[in-house]
Structure 1
């Protein structure tokens, strides 16, 4: 074999060996990637299971207030022919504005026997209370108050003392103190507030709110139709009055 032939043969063997080595590296890289992906998937399942377990443990068992209506999501006042549903968050300043603007109007309709008013306390603003979950705690306190026939009393006093967004909200002790000012003095109420008895219920109300296609508070619904002002704004008291009167016939 000539020197040139030997050189070409050596080069060919070297190329083959390089290809074999490259194939081996690709296989190692591939299997390493597979192992990493599998590990990440397993870790994801473990993490999800852990978080789910923690959330379940934190939220506790679902306790639906016996006083609740509309699939256990609302508290009803009055027995009038026109149904007015109000979805509110106790941390929401626009909800408070609606209460100041139209709360008296709704109460006048109740006195006149024209409406059935259903309040749905949702908790979409827990993120605005520095981790204290004020919206959920306030909704749970409202549920505890409803069980003692004092929903509207606590509802009104919580709005009268509404904390600012992005504050810690009212403490449980402050909620209990305000409740006493409107005649809620039982140990049962205080225990429910401190134990978070209706925390899971508040979550259920919020999930139902979302499943019905609503995204913001306050949401006002009259006989099944959402009422909004021009440009998707808060309806004025005049528009609310006009709509209820029309529905009443």
Structure 2
């Protein structure tokens, strides 16, 4: 006995159906990515110590070490944290927006010293193709003048309201100099930025900072006593670092 044959003939899926299914798949994928991102971030989007601003105690000083590290704090502070950043890094900007004011208050209170080590691997993602390096040079120009509050404000602006977007336009040296002047930096620091006096040292320092990161080559990276902190999950990391 022969098997009955189906009278149904499969029809090819229309291109409209294919596009619709593809759109649904993309939407689902984006939702999954967003959920994973939110899950991995944990913590809170709440701005810590909102309204405090950048460091403003005149006793806070800043120094540019020979290896390019920028150290800001008061004398004889027991706790120092290392912060690795790229000036174009969006996550670094988020960290600054969330925790920058809390860090500034701990610095003003003499409970914390911050050692900034800047890298430039996002140069290629800037409109000028060298923004990260030039921004690092500008940071060094302001830091070497020794004015802690001026540097703190300059750093905060570059990583918050003045931070360019990846792939978009960025600040030229005159614009970086104008931000430094707005921050209260000295005339010498402003001239240093305009003339790009520290461009070559900044490039060398960024390379050294990237090498010191090693297999932790991601920004932001915060090290407390040599151990990496998850700054987007542990919302009390600044206070814990200050103890």
Q: Does TM, normalized by the shorter one, top 0.5?
A: yes
| 1:237 maps onto 2:235 in alignment | yes
Larger Rg: 1
Answer whether contact 2:151 2:185 (CA < 8 A) is retained. no
In structure 1, stretches of 5+ residues that fail to align are 1-65
How far the C-alpha of 1:237 sits from its partner, in A, is: 2.4
| Equivalent residue, structure 2, for 1:123 | 120
| Equivalent residue, structure 1, for 2:207 | 207
How far the C-alpha of 1:118 sits from its partner, in A, is: 1.2
Alpha-carbon distance in 2 for matches of 1:225, 1:165: 29
Aligned length, in residue pairs: 175
Question: What do residues 65-104 of structure 1 show as CA deviations (whole Å, max 9, x unaligned)?
Answer: x931373422332342111111111111100100111112
| Equivalent residue, structure 2, for 1:168 | 169
Higher helix share: 1
| 1:177 maps onto 2:178 in alignment | yes
Alignment of 1:65-144 (within 5 A): 67-69=63-65, 71-78=67-74, 79-144=76-141
| Equivalent residue, structure 2, for 1:226 | 228
Alpha-carbon distance in 2 for matches of 1:223, 1:69: 19
Question: What do residues 190-236 of structure 1 show as CA deviations (whole Å, max 9, x unaligned)?
Answer: 3322332212222222222222213111110112222136xxxx444
Distance 1:70 1:128, change over 3 A: same
| Equivalent residue, structure 2, for 1:6 | none
In structure 2, stretches of 5+ residues that fail to align are 1-61
RMSD of aligned alpha carbons: 2.2
